[in-house]
Amino acid sequence: MSALSPSLTHELIQAAYFIAALLFIVGLKRMSSPKGARGGIVWAGVGMLIASLITFLWPGMRNDILILVAIFIGGVAAWWSGKRVSMTAMPQMVALYNGMGGGAAAAIACQELVRGRPIAGAPAVLAVTGAIIGAVSFSGSLIAFAKLQGLIGKSLRYGAQQAVNSVMLLATLALGGWIVALHGAAPLWMVSAFFALALLVGILITLPIGGADMPVVISLYNACTGLAVAFEGFVLANAAMIIAGMVVGAAGTLLTQLMAKAMNRSLANVLFSNFGEVSVQGEEVSGALKPIDTPDAAVMLAYAQKVIVVPGYGMAVAQAQHKIWELCQLLIDRGVTVRFAIHPVAGRMPGHMNVLLAEAGVPYDLIGDLEEINGEFETADVALIIGANDVVNPVARTDKSSPIYGMPILNADRAKNVIVIKRGKGAGFSGIENALFYLDNTRMLYGDAQKAGAELIQAVKALD
């Protein structure tokens, strides 16, 4: 390779980056469908391999051994974690990996700013902007990981929090502007303080956000990571980074908007409100919770013509997806029509329930999203709710004083009968009671979802 002329080397690198970028786009497109997702990951992985290998031809490239060592360590860590981490832990794994992308973009900016080479004009602005976005995405994603992993409990809130966050952000922007004014040739202490402030901003913004808002937060930081990578790609004149970053940033932005819309909340409300952490009261819920025994629930399910299953975060916590699918297979063998209804923000990351159901082996054609399946609840004999709460609360349609008013919900209340598997009587993340649980056609089956699923399986088998 060293015998190639500089011009030919440059053309080869650019061609390889263009091919890698195309593979990224094809991979992302295939990931939009469950059937093509596995292949999409392979396509994108091949693109990343090409982009990584061709980088060694970059003129003036040094530290090849260190780069190879880093690739080896990262590859082994990714392989090990991919094999070891359970599907129920995917949200925190996605948050962690996303944070690594933002951190890598920030590290590139840091290297450009501390090397002492003047950067003027647009490259300086993009380097500093990418550094801020990447650092915020990195530290914010780590906090999201810690929350989802249970390492951080209750969301941290205190008086004048938004004012403090605003001051920290303004200080970061001011220091970044100063670095740009110095054409990127700022002293080490200034660059260090700049990155420390940017990392602190990410921490302070994310700490107050409740775990139930993580689908939106993860999507947002995914968009930020892509944007930071694209900016640093401009600084390095790296076409692959520019295209890949822009694609990821655009996809993350659209997904963030989808998640926020599915909760009928603005992004600002997710990031800056006290939603779910304060006592909120809507209209008083009348009626009483009516428990049901496992044998009676089994009879109701076994002799139904159509059952729609609504999984939620409680199913993920209990890791009950395999037992629930085993139960559904028994019902299908008895001639019962079974469908799964997925709300966009059910769980703790976009597509969380789809991932769990796919791991359990549930066929894709049995799974319907909110718009597709909502009209079928009126024809269902039983709606089986597993650990879902606010996404099936009918007050979202009727109570204008409710914090979830206007949020699109699954119409589980319109089924002939509703069975709710729930560990206790607590409210959802919105802090309000679920009116669905008090309806005359609803029965509560209390207990851990996995244990309840196993008991239902035995009860249905006993009916034969």
Report the catalytic residues.
390
Q: How many CB atoms lie within 10 A of CB 104?
A: 17
Give me the numbers of helices (H) and strands (E) for the chain, helices first please.
17, 6
Beta-sheet pairing, 382-386 with 367-369 = unpaired
**258: number of CA atoms within 13 Å, CB side?**
20
Q: How many CB atoms lie within 10 A of CB 392?
A: 27
Q: What is the DSSP letter of 285?
A: P
For every residue of 288-357, DSSP letters joined together read ---B--HHHHHHHHHT-SEEEEEE-HHHHHHT-HHHHHHHHHHHHHTT-EEEEEE-TTSSSSTTHHHHHH
Q: Which of 197, 195, 191 is CA-nearest to residue 169?
A: 197
Contact (Cβ atoms closer than 8 angstroms) between residue 151 and residue 210: no
Provide φ and ψ at 446, rounded to 5°.
Answer: -80, 145
Tokens representing 301 are 């399910």
- Distance separating alpha carbons of residues 136 and 70, to the nearest angstrom: 23
